[in-house]
Structures are given as structure tokens and as C-alpha cells.
Amino acid sequence: MLTFIVRRLGQSLLVLLVAGAVAFSMFRFVGDPIDNMLGQERTLEDVERLRVQLGLDQPFPVQYFKYLQEAVQGNFGLSYRQGREVSEIFLERAPATLELAAISATFAVLLGIALGVYTAIRRDGFVANLIMSASLIGVSLPTFLIGILLIYLFSVELGWLPSFGRGDVVNLGWWNTGLLTESGLKALILPSIALGLYQMTLIMRLVRSEMLEVLRQDYIRFARARGLSERTINFRHALKNTMVPVVTIIGLQLGAIIAFAIITETVFQWPGLGLLFINAIQFVDIPVMAAYLMMISVMFVLINLIVDILYAFIDPRLRVSSK
Amino acid sequence: MTDLTPTDQTSADDQGPAPSRLHQALDSDLAYSFRRSPVAMVSAAVSLTLILAAVFAPLFATTNPFDPASLNLMNGFTPPLQPNAFTGESFAMGTDDQGRDVYSTILYGMRISLFVGAAAVLFAMALGIVLGLLAGYLGGWVETLIMRVADIQLTFPSILVAMLIFGIAKGVTPVEYRDQMAIWVLILAIGLSDWVQFARVVRGATLVEKSKDYVDAARLIGRRAFPIMLRHILPNVLSPVLVIATISLALAIIAEATLSFLGVGAPPTQPSLGTLIRIGQGFLFSGEWWILFFPASTLLALALSVNLLGDWLRDALNPRLR
């Protein structure tokens, strides 16, 4: 078990180093930093002085190490476009994305598992079939079209919900929350459905197929023969054993939610990290792009690590044969 | 895994005259399964129609949306099938703010979407096949290196990888070439984000094929590693590749549309379906629904039909996966 965790940790560190190298190379090779900082009017001495001052005359590994050192301390430099500390902008934007991701993940997991169990138990029922057909469309609809469709239905036609922005936010120290005001909560509904729908259908289909697989097994038939209630069989015996693959997928989908938030945030003009990243790409704002890459790698690596370790805890067989 | 491929298989019975290639193809398991599946036939018909319409766009389009001379600003915002108030012209799918015929822009936009999608898949496929063959056949540190990179890339969703590659490539290209290069950068970004699937499948299939007698025989008569990989193993690992390629095409079309919709893809001078949807979204609130509706429906029909075709192909080529 311990070797398993250590090996996973080593792998995660490798991923982070690679991501760091990519992020650093963006600075180093996309344009010349000196060009970016000095204008047209400059002397060769100025260029040379700045090159030494910034440490750009040193070998690549030394520069890379220094960059990592700064990055670990949360220093990602100044945004080319806004002229402010990248870390400051990130802190300001993070609550919006985290709240959106948390709400849509909860929505996706709860509804996904519930519908998955339902469609598995009533496998030939009319409603179950209807849900399954609808989910097929849900999987093939691109995320941004779902968002546009929701806006059209609930904002343009019905006028019930706002189509963009976060509504009013309440300031709790450095955390701006939209969860405490009515307009903030209303503004959350459409984006979190748009973001969570795809993951929900995915979880639902997975839970359903795993449930069907498990319900076919002998121990379920035996439980039924023992005269246990359907409820106990379905939830205590069957659902529990479907959880191994489901937990993995849910974990990985959490990462996907953060990534797909980029799309949802653009559709709904949600002032979070994803929108910041898209704008950074459009204006080639390298420091913001690099910092986003670092942040998202840390997040993905952490999620993967936790999922792997959880996996070993849930399924005892993996503890032995984990190679 | 490959025993159902219609090509590369000689018929076992030598009695009687050999059936013609066409006859053989029509009689294969694949054709049989195709005739039995209404979903496959409908989706094949839809995707074929859309692809042909895109390829021969100049023949089907009523105007050339990229030729400013053919546009009339007075035609702007004409609703579908209604004559314009000033010019009296009418358009099947209406016009956008600049008086461009929506139907024609969709045909030309689909061309770009399909071109980017197909080119990206071909690129990903070539890269994935080469790396997968190398990893599977050579093993050792080559395999470790390639598969480790694949694992790392799989950690991230492919759309995110594509965005990052697009962003970096955009930064590297000089400003004056950015619009011209955008399409190629897009192909590179989507292709690089998608090779892992191919490499993993090809590696897996290569590992199976490697241990078979015909490979040993080829090695015994002194063929070198590269000819064995390309001439002997490659033809036998192609059928799963074909399945992944079809499904990847649908995903690549959606990825392209997503990137263009977000404004980090095809430039407004060469609008793809995603760019058209991006433009159309701006008119959603003012009531000009057709500028958004028709491109979005086209994208949906295209992605859905190619996707269903891929699903059918997977089931038909590999009944065990069902």
C-alpha cells in the first residue's frame, strides 16, 4: 500500500515538473521577454543590463529552477494585459469558478446516481427508456450548445432566469460568494445545469450498466432467495459494489468539470478563471496562460492521486496486486 | 480482433470461380450488418449528404459569402422564406447582419469544419499509429517513454490540451500571419490532443500480433523491424483504428466548433460552423433566431450522424464489445 502511494506520488511530481517546463518554456520561447519590457527606444547596453538583471543570461535549467521556486511561492509575474499580479487576479476570480463547479458537480453526482439506479431497476419501464434515449442526445450535444439552448428557453423565451453574470455577490473577506443573495442563486442555476448535464448523463449511464452487471450475479439471486427486501438488495448489496468504477469516473469528471467550466463561463460570461483563460489566449497573455496551466495541473494531479488512493481503500484486492 | 475485416482476407474455399471484389464486399459481414441497421443507414445518408454538400459547396450555394461584391447590405436580417422589405429577395434560411445568405455561409462553414476535423484526425491517426507500433513492437525504454507521455496527456481533457496548444502556437506565430495560420494551428492543436487513443489501441493490438507465427516467420526470413511493422502488423491492426477514427472525427468536429465558438479557433475571415454559431449567439436576444438556429442544427446533425456511424462500425467490427 505504501509503495503504491509513493509510486503514485512520484508520478504526480513528474507530471507537475513537465507541466512546469511547458509553462516556463512559454515565457522563454514565445516572444522575447526583453522585447516585451523595453520599448522601441533602447540601447544595446540597456538590453544587456536587463538580461543580466533578469537572469536571462543563465543556463536553461537554472532559469527553470528559479521559475519553479517563484511559482511554488505563488508568484507568477504580472499579467501582460492587466498589468497586475497574476496571483491576485486568480484569487479574485477563483471563488466564482469553484462555486459553479461545486454546485454542478453535486447536481451531476446526485442526479446521475439516482437516475442510474432507477433506470437499472426499471430497465424496461417506459420512463426509464425515455430517460435513456434523452441521455443519448445529452451526450452528443456539445456543451456550448446546451448552454445556448438553456439561455434561449429560460432567459429569452420565458424570462425566468438571468442569461449572464453572477448576480449580486456578498463579500466574505477575500471570498466573494453568490450563494447568499437571491440574484446570485438564480444566476447559478443555468450555468451549473449546462456544466453538469454532460457529466450527469455520463455518471447515469455508468451507474446503470454497472448496476445491471451486478444485479445479474449469484449473490444477488441468493440475497433474493434469503427473502431480503428489494430495497436492501438494490441499495445495500448492489449499489455498494458498483461504486468502485463510479468513484473513479466521478473523480476524473470533477477535473473535467473545471476544464469544461471554460466553455460554460464563456457562454454565460461568468467572471471566473475559465473566462480569464480564454481571454488570455485571445490576447496572448502568457503569464496568465502559464499560471492557469500550473494551477490546473496541480488540481488534476491532486484529483488523480486522491482517486487512486480512494480506489485502493474501496477495493481491497487492489492493495495486494497494485503494480 | 481483426478476423472480421472484409479486406486483406482471402476466402478460404478455393472451389469454383473467385467472386469479384465488389461482390465480395457486398456479401461481407459488414455490409450485412449495415443493411440490418436502420440507424446506420440513416446516419450514413445524412453524413454523406452533408459531406457532399460541403465538398461541392460552390455548386449548391446560392451566393459566395466571401465575395463582397455579391453581398447587399440592404438584405441584412431577412427572415427565412420571407421577401426582404427593401430588395424583395428571399432566402431559404434568411440572412445575417451583413446580408449574407445563411444557407451559403453554412455550406462554406461546414467545409472548414470538416476539413479541420478530417485533417486533425488524419494527423492524430498517423502520429498514434507510428508511436503505437513503435511502443508495441520495440518495447523497452521506447515503450516506457511513449506510454508515459500518453498517460500524462490523458490526465488532462483533450479540449484543454487543444486550447493550450492553440494558445502557445498563436503566441509563436508572428502577428501578421495569425489569421492565415489559424486553420493549420487548429489542426495541429486538435490532432495533438487526440493521438493518445490511437497509440494505445495500436500498441495493444501490436502486442497481440507480435506473438503470432507470421511475425516470427517474417523475422526468420530476415525482414527488418520497420518493414515487419508496416507491411505485416499494420494491416492487421487497422480495423480498431478505423472505428476510433470515425468516432474521433465526430469529436474533432465538435472540438473545432467549441474552440471556434470560444473565439480561439477559425478566424472571422474563414468562419467554420463554430464561428457562425458564435456570431449567431449575438443576435439571440434581438430575435434573429435563424442566424444561430441553422448553423447549430447543421453542426448537431453532422456530429450526431458521424457519431452514430462510428458506434455502428464499432459494434459491427467487434461484436464482443457490445
pLDDT tens digits, residue range A310-321? 777 776 665 555
A262 contacts chain B (CB < 8 A): yes
Q: What percentage of chain B exceeds 90 in pLDDT?
A: 7
Residue of B nearest to A142 (CA): B254
At B8, is the pLDDT very low, low, confident or very high (cuts 50, 70, 90)?
very low
pLDDT tens digits, residue range B172-181? 777 777 777 8
A143 contacts chain B (CB < 8 A): yes
Residue of B nearest to A26 (CA): B168
Which residues, in sequence order, are CB contacts of B277 under 8 Å at separation 6+?
Answer: A144, A145, A148, B257, B261, B292, B295, B296, B299
Domain parsing of chain A, residue ranges: 88-271
Measured distance CA(A128)–CA(A134) in Å, rounded: 10
CATH number of A88-271: 1.10.3720.10
pLDDT tens digits, residue range A159-218? 787 777 777 777 776 677 767 677 777 788 888 888 888 888 888 888 888 888 887 788
Rounded average pLDDT over B36-57: 83
Where does residue B41 rank: exposed (0-12), middle (13-18), buried (19+ CB within 10 A)?
middle
Alpha-carbon Rg for chain A in angstroms: 24
Residue of B nearest to A256 (CA): B157
| Helical residues (DSSP H) of B61-194, grouped into ranges | 102-138, 140-154, 158-172, 178-192
Q: Rounded to the nearest 5°, which phi and psi values hold at B95?
A: -130, 160
Q: Whole-prediction pTM value?
A: 0.79
Look at the alpha carbons of B196, B199, B204, B207 in this order and tell me if their dihedral is positive or negative.
negative
Rounded average pLDDT over B295-315: 84
B156 contacts chain A (CB < 8 A): yes
- Residue of A81 and B308 predicted with greater confidence: B308
pLDDT tens digits, residue range A82-135? 777 878 888 888 888 888 888 898 888 899 888 888 888 887 778 888 888 777
A18 contacts chain B (CB < 8 A): yes
Mutate to test the interface with B, among A140, A199, A300 (most CBs of B within 10 A): A140
Among the partner-chain residues A140, A151, A282, the one whose CB lies closest to the CB of B284 is A151
Q: How many CB pairs lie under 8 A apart between chains A and B?
A: 94
As a whole number, the mean pLDDT across chain A is 79
Interface touch A26/B155, C-beta < 8 Å: no
Q: What are the structural domains of chain B?
A: 116-264+298-317 (1.10.3720.10)
pLDDT tens digits, residue range B214-228? 888 888 888 888 888
Interface touch A278/B166, C-beta < 8 Å: no
Measured distance CA(A132)–CA(A221) in Å, rounded: 26
User: ipTM of the predicted structure?
Assistant: 0.76
At B321, is the pLDDT very low, low, confident or very high (cuts 50, 70, 90)?
very low
Write out chain B residues lying below 8 Å of A140, CB-based.
Answer: 250, 300, 303-304, 307
Cβ atoms A114, B246 nearer than 8 A? no
Write out chain A residues lying below 8 Å of B170, CB-based.
Answer: 281, 284
Of A144-153, A240-249, B224-233, B295-304, the poorest mean pLDDT is in A240-249
